[in-house]
Structure 1
Amino acid sequence: MKVLGEVFERAGVPAILGEILSGVALGILFLDVDLEVISFFAELGAIFLLFTAGYKEVHLKDLKSASKTALVPTLTQIVLAFAFGFGIGRLFSFGLLESLFMAVAFSPTSIGVVVRTLIDFDYLSSRPGMVMLSSAILDDIIGIFLLSIVVTFARLNHIPPAAQILLLAGKILAFLVIMYLLGHYLLPRLFKRVQQMHAKEAIFAFVVMVALFSAYLAELFELHAVIGAFVGGIMISEIPLAKLEDVQSKVSGLAHGILIPLFFAFIGYSIDLSALEGNGLFTLLVTLAALSGKLIGGFLGSKAVGFDFYDSLIFGIGVMPRAGVELVVLSIGRELGIISHEVFSAIVIMVAASIIVSPVCLKWAILKKKNTYGD
């Protein structure tokens, strides 16, 4: 996994693509692998993928100031991508829940895929770059909220009546209130106590415990473990002792060095290549709809907040790529038996296409703007 990821990284392509392909190769070469242990570690990988996203990437103070400008383009690109995903599902006569899962899988953005391109062209600190970063964070938060709702619908196996929807909203709110109280009052005190312990790596171990406890607590509230992990990461992102550089490095090593690559490889292993045979049109439409929904929605939203044509185009392209959260959504949909092998495989192909296409298009748009305005 890591070897193939490194090969792709050196070729200028995100390592996630190599890790997914390593799983595809594993599926072709070893069809009779016992999946019980691998799926356990893959589930841990999904939990730590979302936990580290909240822990390392979401800064609530920065988000408050930047979200005002980012809110409109974020909503337009999410709404359009969601509508395109749902529309594709209904076009192919999928059930309501499967169409909703497709819509949610279309919604998030992985800004990390295009960050290197933005840095190379000195565009990360520009207004579109900063709004793009804020939008990606808001995107994930909204995507996790949508996921929590759809997962609950899936577990009930139907769209519940109004009373049950209110009960669901109450559970989500209760979970968030408990996590806020823990993060604001209890955890800072516990981290101070842990710091005074003589045991080695006590703070690192406690951060890992917070990740697992948050995931467990979410399950108790009939949400999904990954939702709890994401919220838990956000809650401790504001605690200085939890964000010591040495601790962050160890958490990142555990997550990105072992567990998350296993999750991506498991996604690749789960692709049913035979399911894609005869479904080329469906896979093509899924890819075009997912990318164009983000592009058009991002373009229109950024124009609405005052961007010029090229900056709006750059923003729209920048929010096209998908990666982590979308694959977590897919794995949950497959785990619950809601989405078929055809849908799962087609959306993984879409994710891979977005990883390849987005940086290339972004380079073209930035160069086009610089050539036009002579910057």
Structure 2
Amino acid sequence: MGNITTWMDTLTSTLSLLNFYTPFPLLATEGETADSSFILVSVLLSLVVIYFASKLGGEICLRINLPPVLGELLGGVIIGVSALGLLVFPESGATASDSLLMKFLEVTSNINPESLQSVFSAQGEVISVLSELGVIILLFEIGLESDLKELIKVGPQAAIVAVVGVVVPFALGTVGLLYLFHLSVIPSVFAGAALTATSIGITAKVLSEIGRLTSSEGQIIIGAAVLDDILGIIVLAVVSSLAKTGEIQVINIVYLIISAATFLIGAILIGRLLSPFYVKLVDSMKTRGQLLLVSVIFAFVLSYIAQIIQLEAILGSFAAGLVLAETEKRKELEEQILPIADLFVPIFFVSVGAKTDLSVLNPAIPSNREGLIIAAFLIVVAIFGKVVTGFTLFGNPNLNKLAIGVGMIPRGEVGLVFAGVGSASGALSPATDAAIIMMVILTTFVAPPLLRIVFKEPVSTPQEAKS
């Protein structure tokens, strides 16, 4: 890092001399360029770094027989707050001076520190929005690749996996922290709640990469992960209410349950009714990109509705994909959405990695030592609590039950949301917060290679699963 700083200082001096000795400055100053252009170039620089990290990491992992998505996550870690500091986000408490990209922008534009900080904040918001857009498109793509009829068939199995995957880790984590580590109730409950999460985005991407998304195991995992998101939102709402008020608001819980069920069932039923009109509309249009844009509009509308009723936008896009997958436009739409996904989805995975602070793994920091012990406990519970879910499915010997459990392990961005809310509410001590982050890191990075290992066994098709 010292060499990078020295290089930046040298570049600053050189550019200053060039500007001094030329009749027209080589670089624009703040007075010559609008703030919006500074934001634009900072976002462009960020995207260059993100795409480079995603492709480099993905190519390396692919060549050593690891899922490319793991390479994207690791690439994000390398360029993020834990290593190079190229892609840094304001919500972590960082400032413009912590970002090498912002330093590069300052050197090449002569922008003043005050404006640089505002550009840094805006750049972080734009990348975060693009990241959210990436995961929305990813879930839309996954919905297109999924079979709604098969999801309905595996619905009871997915429900069992989801419920067990929420109850077991939550109970074990909360009770263990209360009685083994003697933490107070609210931090224990918050940490236990963080164990319930499942990152459908990461698991779905890996399943798609290894060609197991449409297998019986893949459909059960996706269905359970969707239900996990719903249950996780409810758990998070309950725990957040407990942390803020000291009491659970039953009305909010009932509202979330009713709105989640109504939205999912209603979106699928109404979508099925409207799908013939969707096909006719697309066929009647003559402009370029009609299929893609009409489909994306549908996905974004459902995502918007899901978000405003306090669900996750990704559930809306996933429901849209499921509905459109039943139309005759499915194959054509799958082909058209691929380049859009290739453009936006890497932003999501790299951003998740970039926001991961590996300094919590440093035992030399006193506040981390207690967190390391708690983290070891949480990691064991996090893995066991999800792996056991597959073995709760009885009467179907053809299912790869271990693969189902492993597919539920990664917490990813969902677990980071729990940690972020807990930290912001003041409910978590630094040690507990560090322990949760470490649990999220390990489960996120260990699940993709484990999925590849457990899926080396012969895949069971829906027909085999029924026999």
TM-score by length of 1: 0.77
Aligned to 1:284: 376
**Take 1:333 and 1:148, find their aligned partners in 2: how far apart are those partners?**
10
Report what 1:133 is aligned to.
218
Counterparts of 2:385 and 2:416, CA distance in 1: 22
Match of 1:148 in 2: 233
Question: 1:132: how far off?
Answer: 1.9
| 1:347 maps onto 2:440 in alignment | yes
The structural deviation recorded for 1:88 is: 5.8
Distance 1:64 1:206, change over 3 A: same
The percentage of counterpart residues that share the same residue type is: 23
List aligned pairs for 1:295-306, cutoff 5 A: 295-299=387-391, 301-302=392-393, 304-305=394-395
Report the 3-state secondary structure (helix = DSSP H, G, I; strand = E; otherwise coil) of the residue aligned with 1:319: helix
**Structure 1 equivalent of residue 401 of structure 2:** 315
Report SS of the residue matched to 1:320.
helix
The answer to which of 70-79 and 142-151 deviates more is 70-79
Distance change (3 Å), C-alpha of 1:329 and 1:296: same
1:89-168 correspondence to structure 2 within 5 Å: 93=183, 95=187, 98-105=190-197, 110=203, 113=206, 130-153=215-238, 156=241, 157=244, 160-168=248-256
User: 1:16 offset after TM fit, Å?
Assistant: 1.4
Structure 2 match to 1:51: 140
Output the CA distance in 1 between the equivalents of 2:310 and 2:162. 28
Residue 293 of structure 2 is aligned with which of 197, 205, 213?
205
Amino acid at match of 2:358: L
Query: Does the 8 Å CA contact 1:69/1:305 hold for their aligned counterparts?
Result: no
The structure 1 residue matched to 2:128, chosen from 31, 35, 39, is 39
Question: Corresponding residue for 2:42?
Answer: none
Q: Name the CA shift for 1:357/1:139 in 2 (closer, same or farther; >3 Å).
A: same
Does the Cα contact within 8 Å between 1:5 and 1:15 map onto a contact in 2? yes
Shift of the 212–332 alpha-carbon distance from structure 1 to 2, 3 Å rule, reads: farther
Task: Please state how far the C-alpha of 1:268 moved relative to its aligned partner.
Answer: 0.8
> Separation in 1 of the partners of 2:199 and 2:296?
28
Q: How far off is 1:210 after superposition? A: 1.8
Q: Name the structure 2 match of 1:227.
A: 315
Aligned partners of 2:446 and 2:275: how far apart in 1? 41
Q: 1:232 to 1:100 in 2, by over 3 A?
A: farther
Task: Give the whole-Å Cα distance in 2 for the aligned partners of 1:88 and 1:53.
Answer: 36
User: Which has the larger displacement, 264-273 or 276-285?
Assistant: 276-285
Contact kept in structure 2, 1:51 and 1:229, CA below 8 Å: yes
Q: CA separation of 1:84/1:229 partners in 2, compared to 1, >3 Å: closer, same or farther?
A: farther
3-state SS, counterpart of residue 203 of structure 2: coil
Measure the CA separation in 2 of the matches of 1:335 and 1:18: 24
Corresponding letter in the other structure for 2:443: M
Shift of residue 282 of structure 1? Answer: 3.5
Contact persistence 1:42–1:259 (CA under 8 A): yes
Q: 1:305 to 1:163 in 2, by over 3 A?
A: same
* 8 Å CA contact retained: 2:166, 2:197: no
The amino acid of 2:66's aligned partner reads V
Unaligned 5+ segments in structure 1 are 367-375
The alpha-carbon distance between structure 1 residues 182 and 151, as it changes in their structure 2 partners (threshold 3 A), is farther
Which residue type is aligned with residue 232 of structure 1? A
Q: Which moved more, 1:274-283 or 1:10-19?
A: 274-283
Residues 166, 293 of structure 1: alpha-carbon distance in 2 compared, 3 angstrom cutoff: closer
Distance in 2, matches of 1:181 and 1:154, equals 32
Find the counterpart in structure 2 of residue 252 from structure 1: 338
TM-score normalised over the length of structure 2: 0.64
What is the match of residue 59 of structure 2?
Answer: 6
Alignment counterpart, residue 266 of structure 1, candidates 327, 348, 351: 351
1:15 maps to 68
CA distance in 2 between partners of 1:131 and 1:87 (Å): 34
Deviation, structure 1 residue 248: 0.7
Aligned mates of 2:139, 2:174 — CA distance in 1: 24
2:418 aligns with one of 314, 333, 351: 333
AA in 1 matched with 2:74: L
Q: Is the 8 A contact 1:41 1:263 kept in 2?
A: yes
Aligned residues: 346
- Taking the aligned partners of 2:162 and 2:255, their CA distance within structure 1 comes to 28
Amino acid corresponding to residue 446 of structure 2 in structure 1: A
Tell me if structure 1 keeps the 8 A contact 2:165–2:196: no
Q: Quick one: distance in 2 between partners of 1:342 and 1:235?
A: 40
**Other structure's SS at 1:95 match:** helix
Distance 1:22 1:359, change over 3 A: same
Moved more, 285-294 or 335-344: 335-344
Contact 1:5 1:17 in 2 (8 A): yes
Structure number with the bigger relative contact order (C-alpha 8 A, sep ≥ 6) is: 1
Name which of structure 1's ranges 278-287 and 22-31 shifts more when overlaid on structure 2: 278-287
Greater Rg over alpha carbons, structure: 2
Alignment partners' CA distance in 2, 1:240 and 1:155: 44
- In 2, are the aligned partners of 1:82 and 1:106 still within 8 Å (CA)? no
Measured in 1, the distance between the counterparts of 2:199 and 2:60 equals: 29
Whether the 8 Å CA contact 2:161–2:390 is kept in 1: the answer is yes
Instruction: After superposing the two structures, state which structure 1 stretch, 269-278 or 290-299, moved more.
Output: 290-299
Deviation at 1:264, TM superposition (A): 1.0
Distance in structure 2 (CA, Å) of the matches to 1:114 and 1:178: 27
Q: Distance in 2 between matches of 1:70 and 1:226?
A: 18
Distance 1:130 1:165 in 2: 34
Q: CA deviation at 1:191?
A: 3.6
The runs of at least 4 aligned residues of structure 1 exceeding 6 Å deviation read: 114-117
Deviation at 1:250, TM superposition (A): 2.2
Cα distance in structure 2, aligned partners of 1:17 and 1:209: 30
In 1, Cα distance between the equivalents of 2:158 and 2:268? 24
Structure 2 spans left out of the alignment, 5+ residues: 1-53, 87-97, 102-119, 363-368, 459-467
> Counterpart of 1:346 in structure 2: which amino acid?
M
